[in-house]
Structure 1
Amino acid sequence: RELKSWSLLEHENVLPLLGVVIAPEAGQLWLVSPWMEKSNLRDYMQCHPEADALHMLIGVARGLKYVHSQGIVHGDLKANNVLVDDQGQPRLMDFGLSFDQEELNKVQTTSSMFYGNCRWLAPERLNPTEFNLRPAEARSTSSDVYAFGMVIYEVFSGEVPFYEIPNSMFIPGHVLDGKRPKPLEDVARPGFNGRLWSLLSDCWLGNPRERPSVQAVEVALQAVSSETE
């Protein structure tokens, strides 16, 4: 599935797929991509306090918008699944949990749908039946937007979502009770403001139909960036 999804994508904010290596004796298949020496977005931002957080997030939004335009749901978006290239541009990666929307209509349920880390998962991903959804239907562009809100939180706070709850087994109940990450009072980066917090709150709305599209999130990030220049 990852090979199928990834092979369809070509965008400056998506990590390119160079090829495939098959090891029949081990029964394994490896997907080959360019080496990204600057590591993932989370590590990069921690090591580069001078980096423009909004610029990086706008790049992630553009990559995700492109992925969605190709009819693909990422399914496992978090800062560790965004790499940074030699030009300092973010590149989405790890499409192992991705589905194209035609495939979503066919799939009933598989355990792989719940492999994504629960700290980034929308409430409908955690308990689809509560939303009258099949597990496959809970994986949507809207659930990606919820996760992208968590990526914005990561970049500005320097912490994973719900960092104050070390045991992840308690996260699903927390989220399904309507709780979200705490407001950023002591953020790791300058530039965070009330408008961004309002955007995060919209991304994290409990009703997936009420969340903004990734296009709207990109526009909002660009507006905040223009205000801070």
Structure 2
Amino acid sequence: MSQPATPSRDADRTANEQRLSSRGSEGTTLVTGIRECCANIIVHRRQAQQLTTDVIALFSMLRENVGFVTPAEFDEMLDEILKVLTSVYPRVREWSQYGILQALWRSGQVGYGLEQCNEEVGAALDKWEMAVAISLDNVRNPLVRIARHDAEEWQRYIAGHRAELFKFTKQFLRSRELIQQAAELYNRGHPAAERMMELSQLLLRLPIQSADSTKVANESLTKEEHDGLRERLVNFHRLTGIPPTIKILNGQVKKLGDRPLVWGSYSELWSGVWLGKIQIVLRVQDITVSQEAIARYEEEARKWAKLKDPNVLPFYGIVTDLGPIIHMATPWCEYGNILEFTKNNPDYNKTRLLLGAAKGLRYLHHENIIHGNVKCTNFMINEKGDARVSDYGMLQVMAEISKKRVALILNGAGMTRWMAPEMVVLTSLLEPNAACDVWSFGMAMLECYTVHPPYMEFEDNMSVSEALYRAQHPSRPQSAMGLTDEIWEILTSCWRKQPAQRLSMAELVSRLQKFT
């Protein structure tokens, strides 16, 4: 696989060689001393020999990788390796001075000490092998070369190296070590894992050979190859949690059942599977498949794909081959939404869950994304018991494609109880803003504490609309577990008449943190 230009690598190598030259003699002396001492330890010879081997390998990493890590990385590696060697040397020197009787008498102590030394050296080896492997200066690693391309270069690179990349992708999906490296690069903000997901999805798009096919192997897959690659891609996703990179999931998703999990006024939720194994949720809105709709969702999906926050549910993609209506795929959350979860876990700290949802909305607002439909059914609970915000931004896309105002869609769907008054009263406000989300979040908090929709003192939405025209917020319930005076004050701060006077989501998070 060809390498991108690396103009700074020569300078980095020179700087690292200078550092090794000035401090390497200290390490050489320590390694020599440890090796000689281990040779003179009378008991636990195998452990002593293993320690010698690992110490030599650890120090050799510096010379072997002098041209493949940045100076900052090299300095950190040099400091830590010398620290480990300095720690090991006096211990093995003491054990090497034991005579036969003393060595036998203290055999248990020596064995335990050697075990500790081996663990320390082994941990350093593992750490720095991974660190070197994923250093952006280490262009020996194909994953690093893949991660170094910018977005535009990457698309050109795929076009020019398709067969070579597909070959590496097959190797990658079989290698747990490479998958772990990709995951670590992903955690550090580098796109290797996303791009390997993209290549894997492209690979699975290749046609499946018929029994008498004469197609070139790089242009098609056998049925066995296809199924094996799909299974390994499932494992890749489960090991790393990386969502699909290509957001058009046609051919990868199956819709399950003959009726939706949840009926809504403007959308339905269906069960589905991605890649035949991974359970997902399919959200179906009344948007017909068209080039305009697909293009608009793809545009928005590119923004959603960049979102990385533990309190925001990832967006997997859209599916256009399951009928005339566009389906949107998101992860399956076993525990359901916050209302379902707290119903089944009545003693769970609701304020903690709401804090997680608030953090998710704070992140979305920081990324200039307005949710538009904040309520409890859009706060999903993951397997760790944390809230994750879902359905963000979708309402605005639906409104744009259908040529309808967001307020009309929400009113028609019976969402008036969660809507900010300016969305109901001001016809000039075409789209929700951050202050609207804050108002709605206050309503969602009330809904969570009371397990009733907001404005439960009013039977119909018309009465709620009249209250909104008067900028009247809900009455305080007589009793609701967890709804203290302090929490109620937070809610009323979300419901101030003037949008500019409401709390921001960042302020909401700060206040809620005091109660968890």
Query: Percent same amino acid at aligned positions?
Result: 27
Displacement of 1:31 in angstroms is 1.6
| Alignment-mate amino acid for residue 77 of structure 1 | V
Say whether residues 1:141 and 2:434 are aligned partners.
yes
**Alignment match of 2:317 (pick from 11, 14, 19):** 19
Unaligned 5+ runs, structure 1: none
Matched, 1:40 2:333: no
User: Which of 130, 151, 172 is matched with 2:465 structurally?
Assistant: 172
Structure 1, residues 154-185: CA drift from partner, whole Å, max 9, x if none? Answer: 11111110123221222111122122111132
Q: Deviations over 1:130-159 (max 9, x none)?
A: xxxx2225x110110000101111111111
Q: Secondary structure at the residue paired with 1:202?
A: helix
- Tell me if structure 2 keeps the 8 A contact 1:72–1:98: no
SS in 2 for 1:31: strand
- Is contact 2:313-2:330 (8 Å) kept? yes
Cα separation, partners in 2 of 1:113 and 1:23, compared to 1, 3 Å? farther
Q: Does the C-alpha gap of structure 1 residues 98 and 222 become closer, same or farther in structure 2, counting only changes over 3 Å?
A: farther
Report the counterpart of residue 498 of structure 2 in structure 1. 207
Structure 1 residue ranges, 4+ long, deviating more than 4 angstroms after superposition: none
Question: Which residue, out of 487, 504, 510, partners 1:196?
Answer: 487
Q: Which residue of 1 aligns with 2:409?
A: 115
TM-score by length of 2: 0.39
Report how many residues are paired. 209
CA contact (8 A) 2:311 2:359 kept: yes
In the superposition, relative to structure 1, how do residues 15 and 171 fare at CA in structure 2: closer, same or farther (>3 Å)? same
Q: Deviations over 1:13-68 (max 9, x none)?
A: 111122322127x3222121111121111121122111111110110110000110
Residue aligned with 1:169, SS: helix
- TM-score of the superposed pair, with normalisation by structure 1: 0.84
**Post-superposition offset of 1:91:** 1.1
Aligned pairs for 1:70-109 (under 5 A) are 70-95=367-392, 96-98=394-396
Which of the pair has more CA radius of gyration? 2
After TM superposition, the structure 1 = structure 2 runs for residues 122-161 of structure 1, keeping only pairs within 5 Å, are 122-129=420-427, 134-136=428-430, 139-161=432-454
Is contact 2:406-2:430 (8 Å) kept? no
- Assess if the C-alpha contact under 8 Å between 2:338 and 2:380 holds in 1: yes
Letter in 1 for 2:406: S
For residue 19 of structure 1, what is the amino acid of its counterpart? G
Aligned residue for 2:388, secondary structure, equals strand
